[in-house]
Structure 1
């Protein structure tokens, strides 16, 4: 990701945060906390004073979509360039802090209980961004045959873990599905699959880093 895009991302994030804080303050002060405190949406009637909070919600959703799209596009571009140079992509380990976005998934428990909405649980996928920390430690190194072999082994082991957890999740849902509502089943599947995807992404980078460090240690021992 270029410094220009990173700067734009930070500025937009600050603007969204400030606007959301202002909208919450406005709703608490002048609109009796509507759309903040739990309310019955079955009898909801639109008020013009609800507009600031609605816009804040829309802005936050658009920002998250923009963030995800920018990260995916930047990742594809950098990977394409790394194939040409034969070196791993350049990335700052501090991007691992993006993994904290995964905690936004816990908002899903509130939205599910109040509004019956499970979409926020998808944010658990962002826990996988903690893997950027380990990828950053291997930034711009030679991707030789040994490194490629370690990458394949890391991907295979991460996928095996993901497959095993997915099997257990399906087994759990299959055993309890007839005793709970369809909403709970959707909640379990959304939470479980999102967490598994994030775990697989994190393990992929973590295991690759561990294998690379183990090989580097072996080479140093042989030299001694």
Structure 2
């Protein structure tokens, strides 16, 4: 992904956050907290002062769609290049893509939206923590993917998936314990947050462990040359 596109994603993300914070502050101070505090939408009627908050919701939705489409396009393009122009090489990744991992903190907005109108979708943003792995993948960008590298990659993925499996099992047990009566809503939130965090962790660990294994092998190789 080009530097200009990364900058565009970051700038648009900052603008989206600023708009959301500003619209929320306006609604709280000038519109009685409409669309911020919990309200009965069956009795909702539109007023002009709702426009900033409605606009903020639309902008957040459009940004998420744009981000998802950009990442899918980037992934498909890199795979095509890996198969065609650069056989035997790892894909080119800018380490700055790791900054996208900060969008994982948007998952905490789920607390706000759940208390507001019961919406739990923002908790899914916790999966973006896995994007911190792009930082380590970028450090191994466009290097030779030899047998040693591929073996390290398989080992890193195996270990990351093993940790993810154990955490998923623990999450399932905890959900089963609390899956009853008044705890039903909290159990659903636990499952969504837990699965999003586990997926993000597995993605991050697979890249981080691969980087560590690759660095350790490089240090061992250097030590042997010195001897």
**TM-score higher than 0.5 here?**
yes
Comparing 43-52 with 84-93, greater Cα deviation is found at 43-52
Relative to the length of structure 2, the TM-score reads 0.89
Deviation of 1:150 after TM superposition, in Å, equals: 0.7
**Residues 191 and 216 of structure 1, relative CA distance in 2, 3 Å threshold:** same
Where structure 1 has 5 or more consecutive residues not aligned to the other structure, the ranges are none
Comparing 12-21 with 92-101, greater Cα deviation is found at 12-21
The count of aligned residue pairs is 223
Q: 2:108 aligns with which of 83, 90, 106?
A: 106
**Residues 128 and 10 of structure 1, relative CA distance in 2, 3 Å threshold:** closer
In structure 2, distance between residues paired with 1:29 and 1:179: 37
Contact 2:38 2:115 (C-alpha < 8 Å) held by counterparts: no
In structure 1, distance between residues paired with 2:21 and 2:181: 41
Equivalent residues in 2 for 1:58-207, closer than 5 Å: 58-84=58-84, 85=86, 86-207=88-209
In structure 2, distance between residues paired with 1:29 and 1:79: 49
Where structure 2 has 5 or more consecutive residues not aligned to the other structure, the ranges are none
In structure 1, distance between residues paired with 2:44 and 2:71: 37
Contact 2:6 2:97 (C-alpha < 8 Å) held by counterparts: no
Q: Which residue of 2 aligns with 1:218?
A: 220
**Residues 14 and 166 of structure 1, relative CA distance in 2, 3 Å threshold:** closer
1:174-218 Cα distance to aligned partner (Å, 9 max, x none): 122125443222111100000000000000000000110111111
Relative to the length of structure 1, the TM-score reads 0.90
Deviation of 1:65 after TM superposition, in Å, equals: 2.1
Comparing 82-91 with 104-113, greater Cα deviation is found at 82-91
